Amino acid sequence: MKKTSNDIRNSRNIEQAAPCGPTAVVLLSGGLDSAVTAAIAKLRGFALHALSVNYGQRHGIELEAAKRVADSLNLCQHVVTTIDLRVFGGSALTANIPVPKSPDFSAMTQEIPVTYVPARNTVFLSLALAFAETISASDIFLGVNAVDFSGYPDCRPAFLECFERLANLATKAGVEGQRFTIHAPLIRMSKADIIREGTRLGVDFSLTHSCYDPTPAGLACGSCDSCTLRLRGFKEAGVTEPIAYSC
Amino acid sequence: MKKTSNDIRNSRNIEQAAPCGPTAVVLLSGGLDSAVTAAIAKLRGFALHALSVNYGQRHGIELEAAKRVADSLNLCQHVVTTIDLRVFGGSALTANIPVPKSPDFSAMTQEIPVTYVPARNTVFLSLALAFAETISASDIFLGVNAVDFSGYPDCRPAFLECFERLANLATKAGVEGQRFTIHAPLIRMSKADIIREGTRLGVDFSLTHSCYDPTPAGLACGSCDSCTLRLRGFKEAGVTEPIAYSC
């Protein structure tokens, strides 16, 4: 019997139904790393609620990518919250400071670049914690990485361990015995390994956006820290980069 | 010689000039505690930059009080940032949950009430940290109190100590050797002692707002947790409460 469009829709819903495991929050930037992180969390059986933050970033277009990624992974919920970090400034991503191009890899993990946003991951994790506590989730996933990264202090394991301790002290849930866990499954993976893992899990990288300084049309520049790391990762992984670049 | 309006303005500027000591950030809610905290920080010689957070609180009117307090203390700067915690909800202050009235004092520090906002002080301190790092401030003041308080977990010393460790791990400034200090000068004071100290420092309590559930005209209800603690504090301190109540 030929399937009707309703049959097809129902079948698709069953295949893509959100898992019924424990609830978790994932910070979803729209970039490659957080997409792979969400796919890993989903594979582990978590019912995933994604949180994206509109913080006045130069590359606000990444929020559209976050929506595409959330839709493609059929997450339980995708919440976008707004906190304008431009009121503080202090970064090439939130103030009128040029984004450096063609970065030197050897210097990248030694010097913290001007794309560092003061306390960004502390702000993001605190919002994820507020979200997690509200929906009774004990697990928070984020896609930080301490191998192929820009040297940001709030991507290091020691920071994440300290935030986990804080989460359990800061909350009513923690006082009442719930134990929060911060998961950073990519923390010790190279960008090439992240891309290989994402490919294995069926992540559609064409939906993601990594560039700090896209053209007005949304094309990646190909030469900022983030593009440079991404391009090198695809090359090393032997995977074709599916997005277009302006140069 | 009679003073001209310019002389008077200049003289006033000199008298009220912001101090030139180390820069600090103070979280200013518009309530009594944060006003006294700011006055203490100013007395200690800090050049104070105030941060208030518009988080969609039921008592958003407190932001007007924060502006009045900042003006009265002649702070260097008063920044208001917006993060709508209503997208998460989960509290009587950010969702459609009634604010409890005539609270039972004996239960107040044993049970965490529904006015608790998930991870609020973690969010606020992370924003204060972002602000502090941007303006090269090492000191952050906040008016939390663990004596006459509602039992909120993020008002306890252990939480603040953990956040201080986090601040030094989370930031470029911390990596480069700057040491952040979280100051909570009221942490072990009773509400009556806070009011006495504020009175001694000349804090104008008529400018402050504490009520969680004000009338549309902005009058304090007189019976929520916050009003109850405030009224008892003024009574115990033997100081006249200068604000009006709706009942």
> B244 in a domain, yes or no?
no
Is B13 a residue whose pLDDT tops 50? no
> B38 in a domain, yes or no?
yes
pLDDT value for B10: 32
pLDDT value for A107: 58
ipTM for this model: 0.87
Mutation pick from A78, A159, A172 vs chain B, by most beta carbons of B within 10 Å, is A172
Is B17 a residue whose pLDDT tops 80? no
Is the C-alpha dihedral spanning B153, B154, B157, B162 positive or negative? positive
pLDDT digits (tens, 9 = 90+) for B77-125: 999 999 988 888 888 888 888 888 876 666 565 678 888 888 999 999 9
pLDDT value for A18: 52
A112 with B172: Cβ contact below 8 A: yes
Q: Tell me which chain A residues have a C-beta less than 8 angstroms from the C-beta of B131.
A: 88, 118
pLDDT average, residue stretch A117-134: 94
Kindly write down the DSSP assignment for every residue of chain A, as one continuous string.
-PPPHHHHHHHHHHHHPPP-S-EEEEE--SSHHHHHHHHHHHHTT-EEEEEEEE---TTTTHHHHHHHHHHHTT-SEEEEEEB-GGGT--STTTSS-PPP-S--HHHHTTS--TTPPTTHHHHHHHHHHHHHHHTT--EEE----SSSS---GGGSHHHHHHHHHHHHHHSHHHHTT---EEE-TTTT--HHHHHHHHHHTT--GGG----SS--TT--B-S-SHHHHHHHHHHHHHT----S-B--
Chain A residue with minimum CA distance to B157: A169
Q: Tell me which chain B residues have a C-beta less than 8 angstroms from the C-beta of A77.
A: none
How many domains are there within chain B?
1
> A8 in a domain, yes or no?
no
Highest mean pLDDT among A57-61, A191-195, B86-90: A191-195
Q: Tell me which chain B residues have a C-beta less than 8 angstroms from the C-beta of A153.
A: 169-172, 174-175
> A245 in a domain, yes or no?
no
Give the CATH number for residue B151. 3.40.50.620
The proportion of chain A whose per-residue pLDDT surpasses 90, expressed as a percent, equals: 67
Mutation pick from B171, B176, B178, B180 vs chain A, by most beta carbons of A within 10 Å, is B171
* CB contact set of B32 (below 8 Å; sequence gap of 6+): B194, B195, B198, B205, B208, B210, B230, B233
B88 with A130: Cβ contact below 8 A: yes
> A11 in a domain, yes or no?
no
Is A194 a residue whose pLDDT tops 50? yes
Give how far A58 is from chain B: nearest CA, Å.
17
Chain B residue with minimum CA distance to A162: B166
Distance CA A40, CA B170 (A): 25
- Residue predicted with more confidence, B56 or B127: B127
> A246 in a domain, yes or no?
no
Range of weakest confidence among A54-63, A168-177, A229-238, B15-24? B15-24
Neighbour-count burial of B43, counting CB atoms closer than 10 A to its CB (0-12 exposed, 13-18 middle, 19+ buried): middle
Give how far B161 is from chain A: nearest CA, Å.
9
pLDDT average, residue stretch B7-30: 63
Beta-ladder partners of B70? none
Q: Which of A85, A121, A171 is facing B170, going by the closest CB pair?
A: A121
Mutation pick from A134, A136, A163 vs chain B, by most beta carbons of B within 10 Å, is A134
Q: At what angle do helices B225-237 and B191-200 cross, to 10 degrees?
A: 60
* Phi, psi torsion values for B86, nearest 5 degrees: -65, -20
Q: Which domain holds residue B54?
A: 5-237
Please tell me whether the overall predicted TM-score, pTM, comes out greater than 0.90 for this model. no
Give how far A6 is from chain B: nearest CA, Å.
33
pLDDT value for B19: 57
B170 with A158: Cβ contact below 8 A: no
Q: Tell me which chain B residues have a C-beta less than 8 angstroms from the C-beta of A83.
A: 81-83, 127
Is B242 a residue whose pLDDT tops 70? yes
Is A133 a residue whose pLDDT tops 90? yes
pLDDT digits (tens, 9 = 90+) for B129-142: 999 999 999 999 99
Among A195, A214, A215, residue whose Cα is nearest residue A205: A195
Give how far A169 is from chain B: nearest CA, Å.
5
pLDDT digits (tens, 9 = 90+) for A166-182: 999 999 988 899 999 99
Distance CA A239, CA A230 (A): 11
The proportion of chain A whose per-residue pLDDT surpasses 70, expressed as a percent, equals: 88
Distance CA B188, CA A74 (A): 49
B123 with A119: Cβ contact below 8 A: no
Q: How confident is the model at residue A2 (pLDDT cuts 50, 70, 90)?
A: very low
B126 with A133: Cβ contact below 8 A: no
> B243 in a domain, yes or no?
no
pLDDT value for A95: 85
Q: Are B66 and B80 in contact (CB under 8 A)?
A: yes
> A93 in a domain, yes or no?
yes
* Phi, psi torsion values for B228, nearest 5 degrees: -60, -45
